[in-house]
Chains A and B, each alone.
Chain A
């Protein structure tokens, strides 16, 4: 059934669109870049080449310059290919949007597709893991061009459902990873914060590089509601009747504190925390992050 769906023209179109979107984002990022944004993790020196305009000055080999009086830059090459895992939260809450075009899940797919494309374009193997209360699907990491199609095919057919058990899911992930990997997690993290952090710490301590894409809907960040609403938690089915105006201020403070806490705790253990909401243009958001990561070296 999944295959049939995958073969449907609409799905193919979806994939195409995703593919194109990912290409657009990544090409835009790569324009002018000559080093991997993931530089410093699993790359080492391979050869020199002549300096050309746009090269990072810090890559200039000053010893060669001293000897030859010419600028050469050091070229790096991965010692072992970087293995990336795109870990997508598949819980019900990820399928939410209030007024935006994309659900959080859609938005996360866009991000994941872009990052997947980026890695594959660097010949880095990239795999996919989806999880909610446990790991639901996974694609083993590969660096073939066809891997991106597989990734996208799988992602486009997923429907967010179920509740999140992040701790359990991360436990399963750790047991799946054979080498130190780059784990890119896409989730709204609307679960117990302590458990989330515990799981992330475990992942980090297992030697993996972790990037946390905290994807929230624009409504979850700005709370644009006015009037009386009966609000339902899609994961717990819990309902709450509220006067939006009365709650706005408190809610905004709460959500801001939640994001700040996550950012602070992630930063403490060297996890990249990327707060995103669906009103942001995802390409810009991603490029911005990649630039900042690149800048950090």
Chain B
């Protein structure tokens, strides 16, 4: 508790003497009268005298209390807002206790004592005293943690400013960022002299106290939105550690935010809650600059059918237009940049990007209120090889522009070279038609070139360097030298797909050629006995985790694939090599009996995928039972396995190894074979005033980690005196522009209930600042109490005199 005019209390103490003096000096003079029947009065004299004294003392007490309350009210007491309830409870209990005490005393001094009533009143009074004691205890406990007092004392202030892209939302002719900047700049000027101010935008920068108020003001003025994804709770936590280092007694935290759920959730907020509980004396203000019901169109992330197509290949793009607000119609436009070897280039400290576009497409889309609508584009024009950048955008004005455009990058390349190896008793057509369908080869749209070799021919090949991937279908025993050649091929970046089947059988057991040390090293484990199931109950389990690239073709439709309709009869047991010093190996799919079905081993720069049941079984054989019905015999189209194989193939040829489309903040990695590409590049950010940086290839890869804005990142290098343009696209995740506002309950969970003050404008901030710094003034409540006691005094004095 603090006092605005503590001196008044002393004066009030002195004034308390006044009613006491008046009471004794100016007691009502008795009127002298003769009364012959005096003897009838004498008998009651003793009890009535006591009663009269009690009345006078009670009246004196009430009058003293009146003056005391007046002095207290004038002294201007303030208490911490959090303890106001306890103080009011104490005041209420005190007042009712006083009344009960007076009634109890009156009942006690009555001629005919009602002991039951006195007992009840006594019990109630005792209850009041107990409650009062508890309230006082609570007040003193909480008062220790609430620092209130001088409003002009310097403070250590942390201003956390939401700088997410959502703050670009324009409403009433200003963006949320502009509004928060205005409040931030005003706030900075409101701090008392000698205050320490830290302006902490939600970005990757560290937190620090500005040199002076002017520097803090400039920091607020220069604030820009960023795409770092740093959330407010983590910034507060960071700021709390800074505040802890300050020697200022009073510490205040201001959070200027649009209160969108995305800014507040998704992190471990329990840590922040614990931290805030540790510093209950820190005042916390949440300043809401958000819009309750925003109006916005946004585009969902693009889904490309492939990131690499052949020169005559077809590319499909799919996205959604989302609407917050009323129903509307928008034109969605697709355009692709033409490759321009002269750009990007820096002129006058500005980067000039290619301006010539082609393949334009536009679609008019109707979106219902707060609804979504799908948008699809496709093109298949002949293109020269190279890296292409394009975008899909919503035309027209919108509240939040940053989510109206999605960027994409794709590559047009010559078909990848693959080798399909098969023993003479195995039909390779399934794999061949998957890799290079006859139609697409004829049309020139095939992504893969496929060379087929029998296992005998395979045994005679010296090296597989000209291939991007080798697929071995149901092989017969493979010689040591072949294993060594395959190992070298994989270690140099090739992909090996091994689909084991009945040809590995040697009298019911796996042939020793598949369990040799070199074989185990290549496939990443030891093949064991054959598993046999005739119940038709054994099937492949749906993948537990579909983030692996081989599952990319089935992503989004995992739950709709009927894996259980394609039974497995036989497969080879596989003990995965889990030794710590072995190359990384993981099981990507299992059978329903939990045995491994698809295992990946990363070997050097390449990878090996082993499937323990063949993909070439026709479903029916006259001399033996088919190992599985994956491709035939069920009467169903083997769509799941086609998609799975497509994923395996694409993964092994590493045509998807380049991350051409990433989210903001993610690292982009491109393969950079120095035989084909330069060893260093200039990287041009999508922001035109940002100078290009240099990037060197390491381990035949170029990795770019400073991807902090959505747009196209362009690599420019020179190889064999020719300009080589590469790059990738970066997009915001969908949640980054989600304008859904956080509920009060959720905010309470993060910051703690009643832990923070919520304000929406300057006047509210000022009032709450005052309340927090100086505390909640008790003046009005004391005045109410005074009026009640004044009424009581009036009643008593009228009654007594």
Contacts and interface: CB of A to CB of B under 8 A. Distances in A.
Interface of A: 92-93, 96, 98, 188, 190, 216-217, 219-220, 225, 227-236, 238, 240-243, 245-247, 250-251, 254-255, 258
Interface in B32-61: 32-45, 48-49, 51-52, 55
A228 B30 contact: yes
Given A242-B45, A247-B44, A247-B48, A190 B33 contact: no
Given A227-B801, A240-B45, A247-B48, A220 B37 contact: yes
Contact of A251 (B28, B31, B33, B41): B41
A232 B32 CA distance: 7
Contacts of A241: 30
Contacts of A228: 28-31, 52, 801
A217 to B, nearest CB: 8
Contacts of B55: 243
Contact of B48 (A217, A232, A243): A243
Given A227-B801, A250-B43, A93 B36 contact: yes
B38 A255 contact: no
A96 B34 contact: yes
Contact of A190 (B37, B41, B52): B37
B801 A188 contact: no
Contact of A246 (B39, B40, B51): B51
B30 A229 contact: yes
A12 B290 CA distance: 107
Interface string B90-126: 0000000000000000000001000000000000000
B45 A229 contact: no
A227 B798 CA distance: 10
Given A243-B48, A243-B52, A246-B51, A232 B34 contact: yes
* Residues of B in contact with A, size category: 20 to 34
Contacts of B111: 250
A296 B740 CA distance: 105
Contacts of A234: 34, 36
Given A190-B37, A220-B36, 18 more contacts: A98-B33, A217-B36, A227-B31, A231-B32, A232-B32, A232-B34, A232-B38, A233-B34, A242-B41, A242-B45, A243-B52, A243-B800, A245-B800, A246-B44, A247-B48, A250-B44, A254-B43, A255-B37
Contacts of A247: 41, 44-45, 48
A229 B31 contact: yes
Given A240-B45, A250-B43, A251-B44, A230 B38 contact: no
A258 B38 CA distance: 13
Contacts of B45: 240, 242, 247
A31 B52 CA distance: 55
Contacts of B40: 251, 254-255, 258
Interface in B755-801: 800-801
23 contacts: A93-B36, A96-B34, A98-B35, A190-B37, A190-B39, A217-B36, A220-B35, A228-B28, A229-B32, A230-B31, A231-B35, A232-B33, A240-B41, A241-B30, A243-B800, A246-B51, A246-B52, A247-B41, A247-B45, A250-B41, A250-B43, A250-B44, A251-B44
With a 10 A CB-CB cut-off, give which of A236, A250, A255 has the most chain B CB atoms: A250
A96 B36 CA distance: 7
A230 B42 contact: no
Contacts of B48: 242-243, 246-247, 250
Interface string B302-332: 0000000000000000000000000000000
B36 A188 contact: yes
Task: Give 6 closest A-B pairs by Cβ, nearest first.
Answer: A93-B36, A246-B48, A254-B40, A230-B30, A231-B35, A233-B38
A230 B52 contact: no
A252 to B, nearest CB: 9
A163 B318 CA distance: 125
With a 10 A CB-CB cut-off, give which of A220, A230, A247, A255 has the most chain B CB atoms: A247
A242 B48 CA distance: 8
B31 A190 contact: no
Contacts of A254: 40, 43
Contacts of A219: 35
A89 to B, nearest CB: 11
Contacts of B28: 227-228
B35 A233 contact: yes
A165 to B, nearest CB: 15
A241 B34 CA distance: 12
Contacts of B34: 96, 231-234
A258 B203 CA distance: 99
Contacts of B37: 188, 190, 216, 220, 251, 255
Nearest to A226: B801
With a 10 A CB-CB cut-off, give which of A225, A228, A230 has the most chain B CB atoms: A228
Contacts of A238: 38
B16 to A, nearest CB: 25
B28 to A, nearest CB: 5
A98 B41 CA distance: 16
Nearest to B48: A246
Interface in B357-381: none
Interface string B399-424: 00000000000000000000000000
B716 to A, nearest CB: 107
Nearest to B36: A93
Contacts of A225: 33
B36 to A, nearest CB: 4
A123 B13 CA distance: 83
A239 to B, nearest CB: 8
